[in-house]
């Protein structure tokens, strides 16, 4: 019989506590704090994410019912909703943002050799954003029109492993293209973007940094064709051209050559136009890379469905950002555990298993392995047997 740590403690053992303490000291998170430290706050919020708690009262009731196990979970203070609410409102959210970046760095190293649809050694990023809607009467600081409020999560996703590398949380009224000003371009990397990021002045900065971009174009872009390459139209390609911009302003913003690829999507009956500054890859490869941008949409859908970032435990801007950053930290932590334990289960299944076994005293690897094998060995027949043979 296993008499060691509970599941929650085994999960938190993957956290680099030394790096967490460095983040706390950087922003003086525990200054004049006698009880309920930043680590206690993080553990309570992580518990809420892993067990799908809905409110501060919910967190308090669940943890207080397990008083004898709080010490083993790493929580050294009595949990109350007032302490947790005050911590979310006053502790600097940048503590958890910096710590999330530490976890992201670890996860990226683990997933750096993941297989990709295209045989490229370059790092492939997808850049996009999603809006988390809020109630205007409860979050008046987040209003972006007369009747709606929300925050926007801008994300640069590493498509190998679907690990978010750069995340910026802003007001919903901040335009997507502003994110390009915050990026530090990596030479040789690919940045795949939708047409909301079509700003030739900013794209030229990426070009000057020896980075590659693939961006969907709008229909009214003026350009002049220099020459064309032959394409196989049975694949959906319509043209592959080298062009220069001929608009009054765009020609000044991007004076270099561009590659223009037109693709016809039969499924949606749409004609799609792409601009890129890469002239080495084939047109088919460029289209395949852009199709992988859909992973960032799946990432947004996943975190909205399976993380607690639609119901917030506080109404201040600091509380909202704290909850989002801790939620993302939990997502990356589960991805790290999956890689360390070499699990074949997806993140959703792992989270569901952890949510109902968080206080069990079972070895973590044994728990997820046995559950995974049971899931795989389930019979496919829906019909019950009438007689035992």
Which of 260, 271, 276, 256 shows the shortest CA–CA distance to 215? Answer: 276
Please give the tally of structural domains in the chain.
Answer: 2
Give the burial string for 160-190 (b: 16+ CB within 10 Å, else e): bbbbbbbbbbeebebebebbbeebebbeebb
Using a pLDDT cut of 70, give the percent of the chain over it: 94
Is there a single domain that holds both residue 88 and residue 11?
yes
Query: What per-residue confidence (pLDDT) applies to 198?
Result: 93
pLDDT band at 372 (very low <50, low <70, confident <90, very high): low
Coil/strand/helix, residue 262:
strand
> What beta strand segments (E) does the chain contain?
124-134, 149-158, 163-171, 190-193, 212-216, 223-229, 237-245, 258-265, 270-276
Q: Is the CB of residue 240 less than 8 Å from the CB of residue 283?
A: yes
Which range marks the domain in which residue 35 is found? 7-93+319-369
**308-341 pLDDT tens trace:** 888 899 999 999 999 999 999 999 999 999 999 9
Q: Is the pLDDT of residue 386 over 50?
A: no
End position of a domain, from candidates 261, 285, 309: 285
Where is average pLDDT lowest: 3-7, 94-98, 265-269, 367-371?
367-371
Query: What per-residue confidence (pLDDT) applies to 371?
Result: 60
pLDDT band at 156 (very low <50, low <70, confident <90, very high): very high
Question: With the C-alpha atoms ordered 186, 191, 196, 198, is the resulting torsion angle positive or negative?
Answer: positive
Query: What per-residue confidence (pLDDT) applies to 146?
Result: 84
The residues near 359 (Cβ < 8 Å, ≥ 6 apart) are: 6, 7, 8, 66, 69
Q: Is the CB of residue 375 less than 8 Å from the CB of residue 349?
A: yes
- Partnered with residue 155 across adjacent β-strands are 128, 167
pLDDT band at 210 (very low <50, low <70, confident <90, very high): very high
Query: What per-residue confidence (pLDDT) applies to 367?
Result: 84
The residues near 345 (Cβ < 8 Å, ≥ 6 apart) are: 338, 353, 368, 372, 375
Query: What per-residue confidence (pLDDT) applies to 385?
Result: 43
From residue 281, give the alpha-carbon distance in Å to each of 117, 175, 243, 285, 291: 14, 31, 16, 6, 15
Mean pLDDT, the chain, whole residue set: 89
Where is average pLDDT lowest: 76-85, 140-149, 356-365, 378-387?
378-387
Query: What per-residue confidence (pLDDT) applies to 327?
Result: 94
Q: Is the CB of residue 104 less than 8 Å from the CB of residue 50?
A: no
Which of 142, 201, 212, 146 shows the shortest CA–CA distance to 172? Answer: 142
* 45 in a structural domain: yes
pLDDT band at 379 (very low <50, low <70, confident <90, very high): very low
Q: Is the pLDDT of residue 378 over 60?
A: no
Coil/strand/helix, residue 134:
strand
- Burial (CB count within 10 angstroms: exposed 0-12, middle 13-18, buried 19+), residue 229: middle
Which of 79, 82, 77, 76 shows the shortest CA–CA distance to 61? Answer: 79
Section 236-261 average pLDDT? 94
* 105 in a structural domain: no
DSSP at 118: S
**Phi first, then psi: what are they for 36, rounded to 5°?**
55, 75
* 247 in a structural domain: yes
CB atoms within 10 A of CB 204: 17
Query: What per-residue confidence (pLDDT) applies to 3?
Result: 60
Residue 354 CA neighbour count, 13 Å, CB half: 29
Mode of pairing for the β-strands spanning 223-229 and 149-158: unpaired
* 56 in a structural domain: yes
End position of a domain, from candidates 270, 285, 300: 285
* 331 in a structural domain: yes
Query: What per-residue confidence (pLDDT) applies to 2?
Result: 55
User: Three-state secondary structure along 152-176?
Assistant: EEEEEEECCCCEEEEEEEEECCCCH
**Phi first, then psi: what are they for 380, rounded to 5°?**
-85, -15
* 33 in a structural domain: yes
pLDDT band at 383 (very low <50, low <70, confident <90, very high): very low
Which of 349, 353, 347, 346 shows the shortest CA–CA distance to 334? Answer: 347
Is there a single domain that holds both residue 263 and residue 323?
no
Section 175-189 average pLDDT? 92
* 78 in a structural domain: yes
The residues near 52 (Cβ < 8 Å, ≥ 6 apart) are: 308, 355
Tokens of 145: 């029109």
* 276 in a structural domain: yes
Rounded to a whole number of angstroms, the CA Rg of the chain reads 24
How far apart, in whole angstroms, are the C-alpha atoms of residue 282 and residue 328? 36
pLDDT band at 30 (very low <50, low <70, confident <90, very high): very high
pLDDT band at 306 (very low <50, low <70, confident <90, very high): confident
Query: What per-residue confidence (pLDDT) applies to 116?
Result: 79
pLDDT band at 388 (very low <50, low <70, confident <90, very high): very low
Residue listed under structure tokens 């399976």: 306
Section 222-247 average pLDDT? 92
Section 122-134 average pLDDT? 93
């Amino acid at each position: 019989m296993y008499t060691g740590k509970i599941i929650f403690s085994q999960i938190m053992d993957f956290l680099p506590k030394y790096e967490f303490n460095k983040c706390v000291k950087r922003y003086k998170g525990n200054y004049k704090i006698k009880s309920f430290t930043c680590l206690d706050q993080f553990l309570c919020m992580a518990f809420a994410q892993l067990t799908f708690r809905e409110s501060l009262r919910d967190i308090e009731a669940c943890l207080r019912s397990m008083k004898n196990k709080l010490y083993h979970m790493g929580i050294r203070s009595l949990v109350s909703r007032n302490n947790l609410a005050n911590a979310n409102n006053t502790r600097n959210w940048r503590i958890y943002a910096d710590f999330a970046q530490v976890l992201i760095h670890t996860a990226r190293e683990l997933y750096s050799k993941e297989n990709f649809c295209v045989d490229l050694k370059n790092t492939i990023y997808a850049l996009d954003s999603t809006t988390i809607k809020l109630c205007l009467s409860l979050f008046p600081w987040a209003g972006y029109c007369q009747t709606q409020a929300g925050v926007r999560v801008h994300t640069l996703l590493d498509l190998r492993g679907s690990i978010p590398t750069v995340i910026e949380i802003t007001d919903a009224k901040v335009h997507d293209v502003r994110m390009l000003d915050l990026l530090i371009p990596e030479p040789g990397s690919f940045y795949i973007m939708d047409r909301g990021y079509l700003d030739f002045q900013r794209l030229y900065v990426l070009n000057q940094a020896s980075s590659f971009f693939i961006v969907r174009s709008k229909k009214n872009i003026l350009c002049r064709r220099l020459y064309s390459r032959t394409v196989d139209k049975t694949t959906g390609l319509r043209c592959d051209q080298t062009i220069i911009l001929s608009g009054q302003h765009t020609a000044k913003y991007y004076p270099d050559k561009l590659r223009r690829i037109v693709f016809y999507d039969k499924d949606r009956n749409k004609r799609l136009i792409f601009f890129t500054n890469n002239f080495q890859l084939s047109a088919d490869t460029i289209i395949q890379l852009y199709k992988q941008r859909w992973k960032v949409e799946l990432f947004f859908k996943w975190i909205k469905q399976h993380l607690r970032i639609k119901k917030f435990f506080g109404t201040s801007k600091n509380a909202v950002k704290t909850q989002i950053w801790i939620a993302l930290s939990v997502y990356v932590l589960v991805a790290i555990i999956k890689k360390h334990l070499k699990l074949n289960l997806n993140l959703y299944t792992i989270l569901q298993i952890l949510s109902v076994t968080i206080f069990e005293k079972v070895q973590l690897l044994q728990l997820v392995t046995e559950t995974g094998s049971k899931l795989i060995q389930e019979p496919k027949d829906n019909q019950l047997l009438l007689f035992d043979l």
